[in-house]
Structure 1
Amino acid sequence: MAMSTQLTTPTDRGSAEALARSKGEPEWLVALRGEAAELAGTIEWPKPEKVRIERWNLTAVGSYAASTPAGSLTELPSVVQELVSEGTENLIVQRNSGTAWRQLSAELAAKGVIFTDLETACKEHSELVQPHLFQAVKKDEDKLTALNAALWNGGVFVYVPKNVEVELPLQSILFNDNADATFAPHILIVADSNSRVTYVDCVVTDNSAVSSPFVHPSVVEVFVKPGALVRFGSVHSMGESGVDMTLRRAVVENDGRVEWIIGDLNDGNTLSDTKSIMKGQGSTSDVKVISVGKNAQQMSLTTQAVHFGKSSDSNMITRAVMKDSASAIINGITKIEHGATKANGVQTEKVLMLSSKARGDANPILLIDEDDVTAGHAASVGQVNPEQVYYLMSRGISKSDAERLIIHGFLAPVVSEISVEAVRTQLQRLLERKLEG
């Protein structure tokens, strides 16, 4: 039986708790949701640099619609099917408010790897989930974190035990094909000491089915224990009528490493904030962000590295292309705390504008409270050279193909460095989808 619970307002404590109980969630989670719902009514939206997100349509969070698991992958829309990595045995699919598909290879399960939706994990593995959920990102940081805490559904939980190496990427596809359903995943990854794991996801809208406004309030938390390595690849390609607000955060312990690869390819307004907290000595972070904006969309793209650990190292690269009258504010924030001696933080932002109406801003911010460190930044914002376009057109290439070649050429240095093949393929596919419109 399909049950839909109307959420009167996301800030109503009673509704949030009633919904959690109707889903059979443990009491600690019911309490967390109730507190968060109450908070969501009292605190403000995040205030990113130079972008007035409160002018966006942020109320269309929809209502919870229970989802029915798919009998097979062929029952899912083609936009989803074509993103599934060939031969993958480890896959989770979220459709709107819940999980439609999940599979984990027997081999990984035997090693103690957990890869399931977060709702199931809260019931079956609460001893692993509870100490980590809303610890990297606090539920009371702002209205976005409170909203996700109150409403999150489906989601993904990954746990890799000590010394276990997961060779193949774990993959999830999170999609919406109903603008009226709450679509608010929460992704939680815990990599125990000296483990290695690659997780990749795609967040997409089935554009043939969604044209009315929706909001995607999403939170990602990654815990990298000592000596562990987590690679996290994510490509977002949501519809024009949607607002994507995604907050990602990793806490990295001694000699741990996090690698983020983010493709922000939405057609609608986007708030994307990816942050690594290098808590431990020798901890490292590498972030690559690629984005393309078109029409009148607005984007706030932020990458952050906060250094607490001695000899910690961070590298951040963002490349964005703006077409039409799209605008992007790109912030790179490197913060080196007192005591983080021998830390090194480097960042580069490059923005290319393909039209005179497009806007791009790069704000490199270095906040340094320690002497014995190295930090560097390079930021450039430029218009495409019209002569390049004319030259290509004089060779019989159409204007849109000339733009496409220029975009691919501009992004290529970063794309070619992506070591995870699954992310590269999905990025190329969703980039084409965006450029073909």
Structure 2
Amino acid sequence: MSIQLSTPVSRQAAEALSRSKGEPEWLTAQRANAAELAETLELPKVEKTRIDRWNLSAFGQYKAAQPVGQLTELPEDIQALTAQAEAGLIVQRGSGAVYGKLSEELKAKGVIFTDLETAAREHSNLVQPYLHSVVPNNEDKLTALHGALWNGGVFVYVPKNVEVEVPLQAVLFNDDAEAAFAPHILIVAETHSRVTYVDNVVTTGSAADASSVHHSIVEVVAKAGAQVNFASIHNMSGGIVDLSIRRAALDNDARVEWVIGDLNDGNTLSDTKSVLNGKGSSSDSKVISIGSNDQKMSLTTQAVHFGRSSDSQMITRAVMRDAATAIINGITKIEKGATKANGEQTEKVLMLSPKSRGDANPILLIDEDDVTAGHAASVGQVNPEQVYYLMSRGIAKKDAERLIIYGFLAPVVSEIPIDAVREQLQRLLERKLEA
């Protein structure tokens, strides 16, 4: 059955907005075509989740962002997220980038780290071949809308044989309830390069009390032998619908590592996918989430194997409180010809309330004989025997339960590559668990 969603942009409006920002003609045409597609395409079919009941039309309006000269001009809570950004930092406020820096050492090596709108103007030869190559505009209504409306964003380019040893960071935040907030992140890692990228996605100010949509897409292109480490923490308020699609395309012996913290207070659609095209390519995905109140969450992790001897590992841990609901999907697809491929996945949901709900759905789709694959899934409550054991050692019941929950989430938390970001994640976990 077709699900209708009013389209907040027309071809003419997309063209006019693109030209007003001085974007190259190829991007203007791309946005216009995406707007046209959005008028006819349907919403994606999401497993056991009625996203058509969510407020998906509150995209807001594009508002030009005013650059800042110093980070001290930003809100204090945002300044706290910019620590340890020695290599490079990009800050997006609402609809556009307001701050950017990259170390001279990395510039000298040919690394590019800037907002995507600037990159489209100044590095078209690098952006045009890859933008929407991993997540095409014509997949569904949401990808088409994003293709027409995305703003600000991040572009990372790492040349052949260059290793970026210190993580590049971005803070993407919205503090204007009326501003469109739809960043697009594009990472291109050339042959035998290496990079770590970390971002925080936050709402604050008037946007924290509003009903709106954050709509982001991440595209990672990893060439032969490249490695991309991607970590992201989302912390948005209860009125925000978070639509986040992340996807990586991997060539021979390339590797991507995902660490995702979906810690929003509002409804969340999160889909993280690795497409292992090349022989020997590999993917490791770790997702953590805590749901509260009447929050609805759909968290999907996918790995699609085309390359021989490719390997994928997926771990999702979710804690549900109050009347929150989480649908956890793990999908491993091994295509015909992907001999010697290996795919392993684990989904675990811990429920802290009798009204909370967690569904763990491990899915293996195997079209090749000479492979190995496995899955594990569990949904349950805090183990009373573990609580009793800790209490017998003099620990209060509440503290014992908290320790068990932190231990449950530790396999993901420990993988955050930056101390300040890991500490931020731990603070968010404590806030959501104590609220």
TM-score grouping bracket, smaller chain normalisation: over 0.9
Query: 1:435, CA displacement in angstroms?
Result: 3.4
Structure 2 match to 1:5: none
The TM-score, its normalising length taken from structure 2, stands at 0.94
Correspondence 1:299 to 2:292? no
Identify which of 55, 58, 61 aligns with 1:57: 55
Correspondence 1:75 to 2:78? no
Query: 1:410, CA displacement in angstroms?
Result: 1.2
Correspondence 1:377 to 2:375? yes
Correspondence 1:161 to 2:149? no
The answer to whether the 8 Å contact 1:10/1:40 transfers is: no
Query: Structure 2: 5+ residue runs without aligned partners?
Result: 1-5
Identify which of 242, 246, 265 aligns with 1:244: 242
Correspondence 1:408 to 2:401? no
Distance 2:45 2:242 in 1: 15
The answer to whether the 8 Å contact 1:345/1:375 transfers is: yes
Query: 1:96, CA displacement in angstroms?
Result: 0.5
Correspondence 1:319 to 2:317? yes
Query: 1:398, CA displacement in angstroms?
Result: 7.6
Distance 2:334 2:268 in 1: 27
Distance 2:217 2:241 in 1: 14
Residue identity in the other structure for 1:198: T
Structure 2 match to 1:344: 342
Per-residue CA deviations over 1:258-284 (Å, capped at 9, x if unaligned) read: 000000000000000000000000000
Distance 2:174 2:140 in 1: 25
Per-residue CA deviations over 1:31-83 (Å, capped at 9, x if unaligned) read: 11111111112111111110001101111100011110112111111221111
3-state DSSP class of the match of 1:82?
A: helix
Structure 2 match to 1:170: 168
Distance 2:395 2:317 in 1: 28
The answer to whether the 8 Å contact 1:234/1:423 transfers is: no
- Aligned ranges for residues 32-431 of structure 1 at < 5 Å? 32-86=30-84, 88-206=86-204, 209-385=207-383, 397=396, 399=398, 403-421=401-419, 423-431=421-429
- Rate the CA distance shift 1:208–1:27 in 2: closer, same or farther, 3 A: closer
- Rate the CA distance shift 1:248–1:38 in 2: closer, same or farther, 3 A: same
The answer to whether the 8 Å contact 1:277/1:305 transfers is: yes
Query: 1:365, CA displacement in angstroms?
Result: 0.4
Distance 2:433 2:75 in 1: 21
Residue identity in the other structure for 2:428: L
- Rate the CA distance shift 1:248–1:128 in 2: closer, same or farther, 3 A: same
Residue identity in the other structure for 2:283: S
Residue identity in the other structure for 1:375: A
Distance 2:280 2:141 in 1: 34
Query: How large is the RMSD of aligned CA atoms in angstroms?
Result: 1.9
Q: How many equivalent pairs are there?
A: 429
Residue identity in the other structure for 2:84: E
The percent of aligned pairs where both chains have the same amino acid is: 71
3-state DSSP class of the match of 1:66?
A: coil
Residue identity in the other structure for 1:277: V
Residue identity in the other structure for 1:121: A
The answer to whether the 8 Å contact 1:255/1:283 transfers is: yes
Residue identity in the other structure for 1:327: T
Distance 2:395 2:103 in 1: 50
The answer to whether the 8 Å contact 1:10/1:151 transfers is: no
Per-residue CA deviations over 1:325-346 (Å, capped at 9, x if unaligned) read: 1010000000000000000000
The answer to whether the 8 Å contact 1:11/1:39 transfers is: no
- Rate the CA distance shift 1:397–1:179 in 2: closer, same or farther, 3 A: farther
Distance 1:403 1:77 in 2: 35
The answer to whether the 8 Å contact 1:249/1:274 transfers is: yes
3-state DSSP class of the match of 2:209?
A: coil
3-state DSSP class of the match of 1:338?
A: coil
Distance 2:68 2:427 in 1: 24
- Rate the CA distance shift 1:398–1:177 in 2: closer, same or farther, 3 A: farther
Residue identity in the other structure for 1:13: R
Distance 2:310 2:122 in 1: 36
Distance 2:420 2:159 in 1: 23
Structure 2 match to 1:434: 432
- Rate the CA distance shift 1:403–1:184 in 2: closer, same or farther, 3 A: farther
- Rate the CA distance shift 1:421–1:252 in 2: closer, same or farther, 3 A: farther
Residue identity in the other structure for 1:257: R
The TM-score, its normalising length taken from structure 1, stands at 0.94
